[in-house]
Amino acid sequence: MSAVAERILRVLEDLANAPEGKTLSELSTALDLPVSATHRLLADLVDQGYVRKDERRGEFSLTMKMPSLGLRFLSAGGVVDVAQPILERLAATSGELIRLAIVDGEQLIYVAKAQGARQGIRYDPEMGRAVTLSCSAAGMIWLAGKSEEDAFRLVSQQGFGMPADFGPRAPTTFKALLPMIKLARKNGYATTQDMFLPAMSSMATPVHAANGEVRAILIIAGPMSRLTDERMKELVPALMSTATELSEASGVSPMLKQALHNASHTESAGR
């Protein structure tokens, strides 16, 4: 990848985490680039319609052009069309937020959701973001299907979700994380509390292809006040049966087929 292309992608990724926008100096500092170089990159992105500048405040932010590309890609891939009715049924059963994250190379990306909570606290993380592997139920159950060496490499590559930025019980070492991965492997699903976010719970299980490869992760998430240990145990059958239904239905989705192909290729290359 050329240096310019890499810098452009870094600008887009940084702005994707700052919906309120950033000034030129803030971006320059965050990206460790000279102000002049950052300005040239932003000018090109503004010209192409990917970034807008608030002239009054001097802040740059993403336009909807980039999100619209992602949404068109998801629509063409069939993920949402295939999964949405199934996710909606589990949302109605659980009364909580349901998420689907697909395997994209060596990361998990949230691509679809259904909200079951009609009142009170509603948990709704941003779409399109990568799953933090070390402190999420989705990450733990995905890592449960890996060797210990691969799990360590993937978490080290991404970095740990620190308690100050996530939940107070987020593990900060692989030694602390490993027993959780082993328990998830034994149970066939993972649960977390106070890890991904303070006072929030989540549970997750894999969505498999016909050959047993993991192509996606199904997640239920909500506040600990509702999604207690007892409630999560009650929801295990619904979680597992929904994952099976998704496994059977996802064969019609080109994107999930491609995700499976990519995952299989990655596994083969690592052997």
Write the CATH number for 11: 1.10.10.10
The pLDDT tens digits of the residues spanning 15-50 come to 988 888 999 999 999 999 999 999 999 999 999 999
Same domain, 99 and 163: yes
pLDDT, average across residues 258-262: 49
What CATH number has the domain bearing residue 242?
Answer: 3.30.450.40
Compute the distance between CA of residue 22 and CA of residue 53 in angstroms, rounded to an integer: 9
How many other CB atoms are there within 10 angstroms of residue 224's CB atom?
Answer: 17
SS3 8: helix
Quote the number of domains for the chain: 2
Cα 88–chain centre separation = 19
| C-beta of residue 171 within 8 angstroms of C-beta of residue 187 | no
Please count the residues of the chain. Answer: 271
Same domain, 153 and 266: yes
Same domain, 78 and 54: no
Q: Which domain holds residue 19?
A: 3-63
Question: Which residue carries 């998830």 as its tokens?
Answer: 184
The pLDDT tens digits of the residues spanning 160-193 come to 988 888 999 999 999 999 999 999 999 999 999 9
Same domain, 183 and 239: yes
Residue 68 belongs to a domain: no
Q: What is the helix (H) or strand (E) element at residue 228, kind and residue range? A: none
Same domain, 196 and 256: yes
Same domain, 211 and 261: yes
Same domain, 230 and 256: yes
Compute the distance between CA of residue 177 and CA of residue 132 in angstroms, rounded to an integer: 13
Residue 229 has pLDDT above 50, yes or no: yes
Same domain, 229 and 138: yes
